Structure 1
């Protein structure tokens, strides 16, 4: 059985290996022991923290193959970004220049550095090992976060965002970043991305252009990739767009990839998920797959299975094995979402 659960200290080695495998552009998991151990510690504290409103909590979960005990994937949520470390984006805008005297009107696209998403929740750190990229495992892993959001909405900002990886080559070189490196930062894309992942962002405030950047003055290669996603990220973007996420004109400051957003209550899977009361017994035959989670926090568990769910009742029968995996007992509730 594949079970999603909160990460714990004993998962460090698996998390480090995932950080290595994820490669360039996966900013949330730099290959750095101190940062990864601190990330796990922060997550463990977040899952047991009592709070009145979201601040800087992180909820990183792992996908475990219970037959082997192997951790094969991760998915994460940030409660409210930018509350401790600055959270930068470029905001796409337009400046209009018009002269009646010479009868010329021009609209010029601009990029302006901003912190507009401060306080928003974030979908992040989605990774699945290649050998498990089958049988809707990736879809289950990604969408399971919406069940967690639905169940624990008060722990998150009202706007939920996701940063989509922008264009870069196999060596991690970004066409969008090259002009920034040449004229402002002076360090390579991989190094800048790594420092950002470490939370060492002072160089951004010190070296990034303070005024709006005119897109038309950038190299053509850089202009072409603004708002474009990396080919490996296209399926993830399609999934989020189906959930109601849209790009509102914000892009990553390093690779130009789009950031998409949706109000937490407008996310399709949040709205469509249902709470059902558990009956433990022999599961009726069904060919309809569901993502299933318990309603707990520190002991959160999620998985997928074929269930017989009816609109006529708020009860569902699950097997004893499935109930044990989800850590639920007879008469307790689970949250379900059609896969």
Structure 2
């Protein structure tokens, strides 16, 4: 079993926002000793395990990483439950992610999801909500930026900083964060991965399909927004037009069996369902479109069992 005590000491020290010198003083050891622990060049003396665990507020098993796999399994199960509740019971989803934040206060992914779910997701954020949670959100951002290695979660923290700047009417500062830290689509890892392979290889086909699925998801999202928020079109006409586009994509999929069109339909139904809920759409419209969304998701779930690339894309959270 791999011992992760050095890595955990470094992580916990940063979470506690203390220096190696401060930890060394608290444990009555030299600063170079702490440095060696964190570089996995040596381990703390066994007599220091209990003081270290007490100092960081964790168990000895957690300090040494012995139950890391179990903790991660529990977190994965909790997040699966959370995502499953989002379309069914918003209140239960809210309660679950808040509890997760308390139960796993040092997990960066839970911090990230909790922060954005509290903020109302990634778009259309209410400035009042952002400012009322400003101190809490900025503390989460700081912890992520100081300790998290996952680039997607780190970018999420930068995004939140930009959102808060904009809420404070400091939009120039927000734009500076975006232009200095976020690439355009052509510079993303997924696009570069596609370009890595020769066009006659299975790897190229995998990534060109995966990228087409992502782009069509974006396209569906933008199409719905461009119509839903167009005040020059009467409400009923907007909803009917968007719904027809989704239905048409479903029909084309039925005729061609090309997954591209089913993913586009799912994106259209998903975006429209969300906007109807958030923007006070009619109950009958929400129910009808949501049923179509659930149907398209079920079809994709069945397809994913047969085609690895669809399964791969469906399971991605980022990229």
Query: Does the TM-score normalized on the shorter chain lie above 0.5?
Result: no
Return the structure number with greater strand share. Answer: 1
TM-score scaled by length of structure 1: 0.24
Q: Higher relative contact order at CA 8 Å, sep ≥6: structure 1 or structure 2? A: 1
TM-score scaled by length of structure 2: 0.25
